[in-house]
């Protein structure tokens, strides 16, 4: 497995985010706008991420392979003031699928969330048809909590089924990764 690191997103990553996020297979199963707009990455970083990061509401990281290749994005969103329940999200550029990169990036993000950032639980709403994404979180110890029809995301029809996965700090402590931080 190649070593990967998470780096806070700045404008230096805008071009690579723009290139990889514009792929139809990335916007299809994420909350990203579809089709991905021209200048979408720069506008997101400047107008959404930076103010929300300054307010403690959202953090996003570039997933970087040891040879410097930009692989994708993972991060935390909808962070409440009490940090009780935080959304985790992620995508990997299509050319890099199937190498374990999402699992390793999310493992590092989960460790950061619970060991450093003081979050109490993480959750992810995932399209039921997106089995690869569910598998990523299952491998990290997340549990399936509920299944519901979409009323949350305007970009998907109300006939789409979503599944919600969750992991608490307490559950993370019992995982191999969490036990190294106890
Ligand atoms: C979902 C996504 C992040 C996975 O990235 P990845 O780097 O390929 O993931 P990994 O290699 O770490 O793990 C994928 C796992 O799913 C499995 N998988 C892949 N396709 C699958 C499918 N159709 N059905 C079931 N499992 C599948 C893989 O075999 C692997 O599990 P394994 O290690 O037990 O073999 C990537 O496909 C992606 O970015 N998709 C578009 C954006 C997206 O959906 N993001 C998540 C939104 S909730």
pTM exceeding 0.75: yes
Q: Is the CB of 29 under 6 A from ligand 1?
A: yes
Distance CA 97, CA 83 (A): 31
Which CATH code fits 4-179?
A: 3.40.630.30
At 177 the pLDDT is 87
Q: Which atom of ligand 1 is nearest to the CA of 106?
A: 12
In this predicted structure, what is the pLDDT of residue 179? 87
> Is the C-beta atom of 134 inside 6 A of ligand 1?
no
Q: How far is the CA of 55 from the centre of ligand 1 (A)?
A: 31
Closest CA to 18 of 34, 39, 35, 33: 39
H/E run at residue 21: helix 14-21
136 lines ligand 1 (CB under 6 A): yes
Report domain extents, the chain.
4-179
Q: Could you tell me if 91 and 148 are in contact, meaning their C-beta atoms sit under 8 angstroms apart?
A: no
Question: Is 9's C-beta closer than 6 angstroms to any atom of ligand 1?
Answer: no
Res 7: pLDDT: 98
Residue 127, both tokens: 């399209």
For ligand 1, atom 16: residue with the closest CA = 132
Q: Residue 113 burial (CB < 10 Å; 0-12/13-18/19+)?
A: buried
Alpha carbon 150 to its chain centroid, in Å, reads 19
Q: Is ligand 1 within 6 A of the CB of residue 146?
A: no
The reply to whether ligand 1 has any atom less than 6 angstroms from the CB of 101 is yes
Please tell me whether residue 178 adopts helix, strand or coil conformation. helix
Segment holding 26, helix H or strand E: helix 24-29
pLDDT along the chain (182 residues), means of 10: 95 98 97 95 98 98 98 98 98 98 98 97 97 98 96 90 97 90 74
Ligand 1, atom 2: closest residue by C-alpha: 133
Does residue 26's CB lie within 6 angstroms of at least one atom of ligand 1?
A: yes
Would you state the pLDDT for residue 84? 98
Ligand 1 atom index nearest CA of 126: 48
The pLDDT assigned to 39 comes to 97
């Amino acid at each position: 497995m190649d070593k990967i690191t998470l780096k806070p997103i700045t404008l230096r990553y805008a071009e690579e985010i723009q290139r990889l996020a514009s792929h139809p297979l990335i916007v299809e199963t994420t909350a990203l706008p579809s089709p991905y707009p021209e200048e979408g990455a720069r506008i997101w970083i400047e107008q959404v991420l930076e103010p929300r990061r300054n307010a403690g509401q959202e953090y996003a990281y570039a997933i970087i392979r040891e040879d410097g290749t930009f692989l994708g994005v993972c991060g935390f969103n909808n962070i409440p003031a009490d940090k009780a329940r935080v959304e985790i999200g992620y995508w990997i550029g299509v050319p890099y699928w199937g190498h374990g990169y999402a699992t390793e990036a999310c493992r590092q993000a989960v460790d950061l969330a619970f060991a450093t950032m003081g979050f109490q639980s993480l959750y992810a709403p995932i399209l039921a048809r997106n089995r690869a994404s569910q598998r990523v979180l299952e491998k990290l110890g997340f549990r399936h909590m509920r299944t519901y029809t979409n009323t949350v995301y305007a970009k998907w029809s109300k006939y789409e089924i979503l599944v919600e996965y969750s992991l608490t700090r307490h559950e993370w402590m019992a995982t191999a990764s969490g036990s190294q931080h106890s």
